[in-house]
Amino acid sequence: MAKTIAILNQKGGCAKTTTTIHLGIGLARQGKRVLLVDADPQASMTIALGWKRPDEIFVTLADLLRRIYAEKPISSDCVLRHKEGVDLIPSSIALSSLEAAMVNMECREQLLRNCIAEMKDDYDYILIDNLPSLGLLTVNTLTAADSIIIPVQPEYLSTVGMNQLLESFQRVRRKLNPGLQIEGILITMADMRSNHAYDAAGAIRANYGAQVRVFETTIPLSVRVREASMAGVSVYTHSPKSKAALAYGQFVKEVLGE
């Protein structure tokens, strides 16, 4: 069965989507079967992978969750295939209205877990991208996941909310998902020429390294990543020799335990 990893942080702009894409495609390049799940109503991952008009996609994650709630079967029409070897369950703005409606649903925290449970036998990894929030969709993700990866930009404001995120993690593990683990913290978008970034990265390792794994890989700030997203491909394809591509490749090896 697939290992399900959620990539999340309640702060925006810390490369959650980029990390999900490059971990997923990096795993696919290692021969793994990978499903990406876009659980963000802004559909950033869907757009970055080349589907520029997500609201025109026939079936998205919101439709699947409605089917699960209505106890109807889901089918393969929900999965899009990307040319770099990963599958995608896309998102759209409809997921935002569904989140509001979920408040009144029974077993509302379990919808995403029940949805991907029907697909686990088809994949080695399921990676879930999240919106910058600790709301009901994020609780669904934490309930569905086996582990989480926390991307953090090395700056003061990015680290302020870390304790709040860890408290939410502990609460979900205590009440809904006792097997949930933290895969690790990944330092992203780092300009290590800056004294502030260098000091902040050191503070993250010093303050959290004793409790939580902090990946050895640091992902550099890179314009190549933004260019790749505009082209609908990964940085492995767009600029394979760039520092970002090499760093994400090393990060994939860490996740695989190599």
Boundaries of every domain in the chain:
3-256
Query: Using one digit for the tens of pLDDT, what is the confidence trace for 25-75?
Result: 999 999 999 999 999 999 999 999 999 999 999 999 999 999 999 888 887
Amino acid at 141: T
HSE value, Cβ hemisphere, 13 Å, CA-based, for 60: 24
Count Cβ atoms within 10 A of the Cβ of residue 149 and give its class: 0-12 exposed, 13-18 middle, 19 or more buried.
buried
Q: Can you give the pLDDT at residue 106?
A: 82
Distance CA 214, CA 184 (A): 5
Q: DSSP characters for 99-142?
A: HHHHTTSTTGGGHHHHHHHTTGGG-SEEEEEE-SS-SHHHHHHH
CB 246 within 8 Å of CB 224: no
- pLDDT (mean) for 94-115: 90
* Residue 152, pLDDT above cutoff 90: yes
pTM: 0.95
> Yes or no: is domain 3-256 CATH 3.90.1150.10?
no
Q: Which residues of 64-81 are buried (b: 16+ CB within 10 A; e: fewer)?
A: bbebbbeeeebeeebbbe
The helix/strand/coil state of 86 is coil
Listed residue (112, 107, 114) closest to 129, CA to CA: 112
The helix/strand/coil state of 45 is helix
Query: Using one digit for the tens of pLDDT, what is the confidence trace for 175-198?
Result: 999 999 999 999 999 987 888 888
